[in-house]
């Protein structure tokens, strides 16, 4: 009986750890230059495809009604609040730790980059990589929930 209880407890703990290893959730982004908190981005999963939208602006220098005036696609002049900045990421077949194949848009400059993400530190942080050709920039986002 004790072995069964321990096995069930281990399974529940394993499932909980796996749930935190997914990028789905609310993340705090940090500005590369100033190292200040920039925004909260909610990443969601729709049938295995991840997307992320700005849920809250944290930088006091950013106006609450700011728009993506440098975006060049359908997001041009759309409010930053609610803006989808991360699109079409799928779990990588090549490396099971990564989600890739999508893109991320930096509303500050309007540029869109190929994107790869993975959780690190047992799901407490998200490693976000944006690529243009062979060049990339990596940010670390912090899990809020």
CATH number at residue 31: 2.40.128.520
- Rounded Cα distance between 87 and 78, Å, is 16
| pLDDT value of residue 1 | 56
pTM of this structure: 0.84
- Residue 105: domain span: 23-143
Q: Is residue 44 part of a domain?
A: yes
Per-residue pLDDT for 20 more than 70?
Answer: no
- pLDDT band at residue 95, thresholds of 50, 70 and 90? confident
Q: What is the DSSP letter of 123?
A: G
Considering the domain boundaries, does residue 69 fall inside one? yes
Number of domains, the chain: 1
Query: Residue 70 in contact with residue 51, Cβ under 8 Å?
Result: no
- What confidence tens digit (pLDDT) does each residue in 52-71 have? 999 999 999 899 999 999 99
Residues 80 and 66 sit within 8 Å (Cβ to Cβ) = yes
């Amino acid at each position: 009986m004790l072995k069964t209880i321990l096995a069930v407890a281990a399974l529940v703990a394993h499932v909980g750890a796996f749930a935190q290893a997914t990028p789905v959730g609310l993340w705090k982004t940090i500005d590369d230059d100033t190292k200040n908190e920039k925004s909260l981005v909610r990443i969601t999963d729709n049938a295995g495809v991840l997307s992320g939208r700005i849920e809250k602006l944290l930088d006091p220098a950013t106006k609450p009604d700011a728009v993506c005036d440098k975006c060049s696609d359908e997001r041009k002049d759309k409010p930053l609040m609610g803006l989808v900045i991360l699109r079409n990421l799928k779990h990588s077949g090549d490396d099971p730790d990564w989600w890739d194949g999508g893109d991320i848009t930096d509303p500050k400059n309007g540029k869109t980059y190929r994107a790869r993400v993975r959780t690190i530190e047992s799901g407490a942080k998200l490693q976000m990589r944006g690529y243009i050709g062979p060049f990339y920039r990596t940010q670390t986002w912090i899990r809020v929930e």
